Amino acid sequence: NGKLDRKALPPPDFAAATSGDDFDPPSTPTQTRLASIFADVLGLERVSVHGDFFELGGHSLLATQVVSRIRSTFDVELPLGELFSSPTVALLSERLELLHGSSSRQPALVPVDRTQPLPLSFAQQRLWFLDQLQPGASTYNIPWALKLTGNLNAEALLQSLNALIQRHEVLRTHFAIHEGQPVQRIQPDVRVALPVVDLRALDSSARDAEAQRLMREEALHSFDLSRGPLVHASLVRLADDEYLLLVTAHHIVSDGWSIGVIVREIAAFYRQFAGGEPAQLAPLPIQYADFSVWQRQWLQGDVLAEELAWWRQQLSDASTSLELPTDRPRPAVQTYRGAVVPIALSRELTQAVKALAQREGATPFMVLLASFQTLLSRYSGQDDISVGSPVANRNRSETEGLIGFFVNTLVLRARIGSRQSFRELLSQVRTSTLAAYEHQDVPFEKLVEELQPQRDLSRSPLFQVTLTLQNAPEEELELPGLTLSGMAASIETSKYDFSLLLEEGANGFTGILNYNTDLFDAATMERLAQHYAVLLGGLTASPDVQLASVAMLTPDEKQVLPSWTGTTSAYPRDASIHSLFAQQAARSPDAVAVVSGEESLSYAQLDSRSNQLAHYLRSLGVLPGSRVAVRLDRSADLIVSLLAILKAGAAYVPLDKAWPSERLAFVLRESAAGVVLSHSDVVDDLPAFGAVLLVIDEETSRIAGQPSSTLPLDVTGNDLAYVMFTSGSTGEPKGVCVPHRGVTRLVSSSFISFGASDVWLHAAPVAFDASTLEIWGALLHGSKLVLAPPHSLSLEELGSLLVREGITSLWLTAALFEQMVATQPVALAGVRQVLAGGDVLPPSRVREHLARIPSGHVLVNGYGPTENTTFSATHSLRHGDSVSRSVPIGAPLSNSSAFVLDSSFRLLPAGVPGELFVGGDGLAWGYLNRADLTAERFVPHPFSSSPGARLYRTGDRVRWLPDGTLEFLGRSDFQVKVRGFRIELGEVEAAVRLFSGIQEAVVLAREDVPGDKRLVAYFTSAESSVDASALRAFLLQRLPEYMVPAALVSLSAFPLSANGKLDRKALPPPDFAAATSGDDFA
């Protein structure tokens, strides 16, 4: 199409780039020495003074070596960032001229007296301390394996190993206690054996399996740090000319860079012992113990204080825990069991990474890091992401040829805004990474010691995920008569939640994800690797679009997600509730419809009585579209009233008998109900209101005189059926307007069986939307509806009722389900269909219940806001089903939809948390008289072509599981559920603030004891003390009992975070015992 084909641009020839006409020789002594340093580090014959260090193959590790050599050559401390801003010999020489005279402040790194106690380096001391806690653990082993093909001289190989040990003191070191402190002890002579395991007698498959077992066994070798040696090796013979060399060293004496040194020097010694060629190895200028002493002497006092000050500022107020969604609950104490999955980025993607890095003056690592932090932000929902990254920390030339534990881990922090572009994020990451490199001398162990992050034994401090781009020099090993190839060593540990380790090969970046198997499944990590590749591709292709706009769905996920988000099936979507009831009454007129104590109504009687009341309501002025309030106990009259209101073309507004008068008055006023239906025994405490009061038991004869025929009217599925008031964040409840279609969709779904043989229990408060399922699930299918007594039932009463009435279908809140499993297990197990929800189901109780129920019985976890008519999604469980960390909330009901979206309303794949949006035929109209709130919560459907289609944003954080079910992760705002009741904490806080003398108030739902969630109100007051009893009584007048906090805690001031915000985590746990004792005891 005539456009520039960037992919077709040929790879450069670095050697040619430094030769021929483009070569400009150095013209000053400074340029000459700099050009020599560049060429030496880059492995080139010569470098033009205008050759860009990074275009010639340089990266951050090589840049560190350049700085190290500049320090040695010029005695100048050059900030690493100077090389990035002045990447040519010509430019950098000008910078060096300006720095002339500012000598390096680092002392000389020289050999020290071996008779003095030799301290451990900071890094060694941490590993020594961890080993004291878990002696001999293999967590910090560094295993590696070489495949040797050809004519091996095993004796020469053993001599080479021991010569290596003799050359490097650190391999002859063990650790002892001197005056209460650990010290290094260097043995003058240490020899290791090289046992040979011969597998030649085994067949091919058995040989491979045994070789893998031996690799695992070698990798898990247990070292005694107090005895040594801390390196171990074995040789496995696979065939006459095929061997595996397995070597494991403890991290306390080795690191990744050290492996390259070991391989290079073993090769040199092998040539000497096998072929007589002298090992051409320069004498070591220092040993590791010299570095330990130097580090301790230099990193102290003002130097250490300055370095720590930078890190303290850089990590100020940083989030220290990455809240990744895991496949299993996080153990209370961090574990280190691990495994790996491979990851490969295509050659094209690798080139895109390198090209973007070059254009932005960054390194490929910085591009990989910024995109990795973006991925972690997507997975965690956090915008402050800290990642650990190991650095070789060999920023002095004397250390480059040593074996030892030099590697340091840097905390690389990024603040990610969804409206940022990737180019902007990359600029931030480039700046912060370069600055971190310049302050890399502070050992991570010292940083933790000084910053003292909040102690959490379940995770590593400051970060839980690492990224490594392996660019340490690797040697191609050539030995007489032998071909050698590296093999992936067995990895069965993980120091972090997971680590991404990459290196560049001929086909692009490849590597592994090393993950903690107590947290994650392999499939989860494989998906994460795929998401990283897709996201990285999108970010590098479109670096100027907002981060939130870049998708990470794989092609397979784009195909499968639509099948997860919802299905449709035929049902009477245009019919009204009462017309479907009338059809059922005609089919089974004599069947029992309602049982309330001693009273029983057949379907024909219920149809007739409700018709009579509908006529009477019409005579009182109730017209289609009116709203009628109902304040009745559970009784036959309640069911008759609800049906009659619908038959009159009106919508019912249920009022809870337990509501305080202030809430009742608000709902009556807000709903503009023209008529209120009640009973004489509950009518006295109704507040004054401007509506007709119909006391049903006092008007029985008048109602009975009305026609029993059906009122002629045309009500459709889209007309209003009821208005249900739920807790509101502004301090006032909000009325949810539910149409008939929402209810018919609910009871036409197949998440349970609905039929004439069912016996339903109606026990939920009529103002709670579970009653919708109980009542209409029964009456629209010819079932028997048993009404629980009007009082609050004890667990024993409920258990007896289930057995006595033969209940087959039962709804329970999560809290009541837990109590029933614990106290009435047999009665509950006898119910064929138990539906539970309203809050998180406790997995342990679910397992208990499933173990008891017979085949054919089902437990359904029901999830859904009132705004989507009781249930949006359900998950069915039967005997034999397994339950892990949580009980899924399942898949959307038929004719409903569910979408997991990010902040930019983009679809999210399995495993990635987002907000749940629900839609379909269960959707409410919106909130009564609250167009603003309706527009905020009922948003335009981003994936629908139907005019006016909407989704309800639930505020719940969920994720898709790989099987297409949803897992609930928690609220994304301050709405909570306690005992199944949805509560906006803001409403409770508003009520607390109304009490005289209270200045500030905050309310939390605390779960200090697992499974026991309670509301706690914290407040500050202008007066010296607040009467807790008076405050509680005050709240009981304004809030339902379930919204009144269980504990009231007075504070002199609220704890604040470093940025001045309320620190909710620092609010103290209440003393519930004190809150229920003494004068305040109720």
What does the alpha-carbon distance between residue 596 and residue 785 come to, in Å, rounded to a whole number? 9
Task: Name the burial class of residue 3, with classes exposed (0-12), middle (13-18) and buried (19+) by CB atoms within 10 angstroms of its CB.
Answer: exposed
pLDDT in the model for residue 990: 78
Q: For residue 326, what are its two tokens?
A: 């895991």
CB within 8 Å of 170: residues ≥ 6 apart: 253, 254, 287, 288, 289, 402, 403, 404
For residue 346, give the amino acid letter.
Answer: S
CB within 8 Å of 527: residues ≥ 6 apart: 909, 910, 911, 962
Go through the domains of the chain in sequence order and give each one's CATH number. Answer: 6-99 (1.10.1200.10), 118-290 (3.30.559.10), 321-474+490-552 (3.30.559.30), 560-572+739-970 (3.40.50.12780), 576-715 (3.40.50.980), 975-1080 (3.30.300.30)
Helix, strand counts (H, E) of the chain:
32, 41
pLDDT in the model for residue 607: 98
Contact 655, 628 (CB under 8 A): no
Instruction: Tally the residues of the chain.
Output: 1082
Q: Nearest to residue 784, comparing CAs of 774, 793, 792? A: 774
Other beta carbons less than 10 A from residue 504's beta carbon: 18
Contact 116, 89 (CB under 8 A): no
Bridge partners of residue 1000, in order along the sequence: 1020
Q: How far is CA 937 from the centre of its chain?
A: 24
For the chain, the distance separating the N- and C-terminal CA atoms, rounded to the nearest angstrom, is: 81
Q: What is the DSSP string of 989-1042?
A: HHHHHTSTTEEEEEEEEEEEETTEEEEEEEEEESSS---HHHHHHHHHHHS-GG
What does the alpha-carbon distance between residue 722 and residue 715 come to, in Å, rounded to a whole number? 13
Task: Name the burial class of residue 69, with classes exposed (0-12), middle (13-18) and buried (19+) by CB atoms within 10 angstroms of its CB.
Answer: buried
Q: Quick one: which H or E segment has residue 385?
A: strand 384-391
pLDDT in the model for residue 463: 96
Contact 892, 917 (CB under 8 A): no
Determine the 3-state secondary structure of 256 from DSSP: helix
Q: How do beta strands 592-596 and 784-787 pair?
A: parallel
Q: Quick one: which H or E segment has residue 600?
A: strand 599-602
What does the alpha-carbon distance between residue 293 and residue 110 come to, in Å, rounded to a whole number? 10
Residue 511: which region, alpha, beta or left (left: phi > 0; alpha: psi -120 to 50)?
A: left
Q: For residue 469, what are its two tokens?
A: 């781009």
Q: Nearest to residue 689, comparing CAs of 671, 707, 704? A: 671
Q: Is the dihedral of CA 21, 23, 24, 26 positive or negative?
A: negative
Determine the 3-state secondary structure of 138 from DSSP: coil
Q: Quick one: which H or E segment has residue 11?
A: none
pLDDT tens readout for residues 216-254: 999 999 999 999 999 999 999 999 999 999 999 999 999
Point out the residues of the chain with pLDDT beneath 70. 1-21, 100-104, 472-477, 729-730, 974-975, 980, 982, 1056-1061, 1072-1082
Task: Name the burial class of residue 552, with classes exposed (0-12), middle (13-18) and buried (19+) by CB atoms within 10 angstroms of its CB.
Answer: buried
Q: How far is CA 775 from the centre of its chain?
A: 39
CB within 8 Å of 346: residues ≥ 6 apart: 507, 508, 533
pLDDT in the model for residue 4: 58
Contact 625, 650 (CB under 8 A): yes
pLDDT in the model for residue 19: 46
Q: For residue 198, what are its two tokens?
A: 């011969």
Contact 42, 58 (CB under 8 A): yes
